[in-house]
Amino acid sequence: MMAQPSGAPVFPPFSVIGPQFVTPEPLEIIVKKYPGRNLMITDTNHTIMFRVKECKTNRLQLALLDANEKPIVMLQKAFSLHNRWNVFKGESVSDSDMIFTAKTETMKFKANVIMMLANKMRSKDVCDLRIKGSWSMGNITIYKGDSSTVVAQMHKPQDTKYAANKFTATIQPNMDYACVVALFAIVEYEENPTLIGAAAKIKSYENTIDTVGNFITKK
């Protein structure tokens, strides 16, 4: 934990994944990327809080895990014309368990993500969170809706012992920090889609060939 900075934004508790991930104090976390799609999130005492791991499926899917590697949410890229991710409770990928959706617009080394709670997906309400910035530059910022209120911000630490894929992030009071980590994972994938994207395309291609082969055999 860290002391609340002077002039920090004040807003009501914003629980997305769960109230247990909302704290009345500012929170400083460390985000480290490992080979593949794996992230580890710790507090400033290097105690593990979360991990993000790739799921071995034919869909683009990531799991946000707690310190004991129990699934908190599943992040799945949707098959749609829009570049969208859906996030579900626990190990579910059922529409009834969807928590929020995130639509992404990714330019070179820069992401613009609009997040909406699942119960607002079909409404004309403004977005609940907006994410801008770059994973590689370590300058991702999350805003409350379309306002200028910053609820979380990733930045590169001053300490040069940190590697290129290790960042710190400050999360403001009352903000769901598990949701913040899930959004960081989405931005990381969108900026670096090659590995998991290629694997999914190969699997999809294999399934298509198998389906056609079975059809021809039966004919």
Which pLDDT band, with edges at 50, 70 and 90, does 134 fall under?
A: confident
* pTM check: above 0.85: no
Predicted confidence (pLDDT) at residue 114 exceeds the cutoff of 60: yes
- For 152-196, write each residue's pLDDT tens digit: 999 887 665 556 688 999 999 999 999 999 999 999 888 877 544
Give 184 or 58, the one with higher predicted confidence.
Answer: 184
Lowest mean pLDDT among 2-16, 72-86, 114-128, 137-151: 2-16
Q: Tokens representing 95? A: 């529409």
What CATH topology corresponds to 19-218?
Porin (2.40.160)
**Which residues lie below 8 Å from residue 44, measured CB to CB, with a gap of 6+?**
2, 28, 29, 30
Residue in 30, 99, 62 with CA at minimum distance from that of residue 188: 62
**Which residues lie below 8 Å from residue 21, measured CB to CB, with a gap of 6+?**
15, 176, 177, 178, 179
Q: Give the whole-angstrom CA distance, residue 157 versus residue 143.
A: 21
- For 182-193, write each residue's pLDDT tens digit: 999 999 888 877
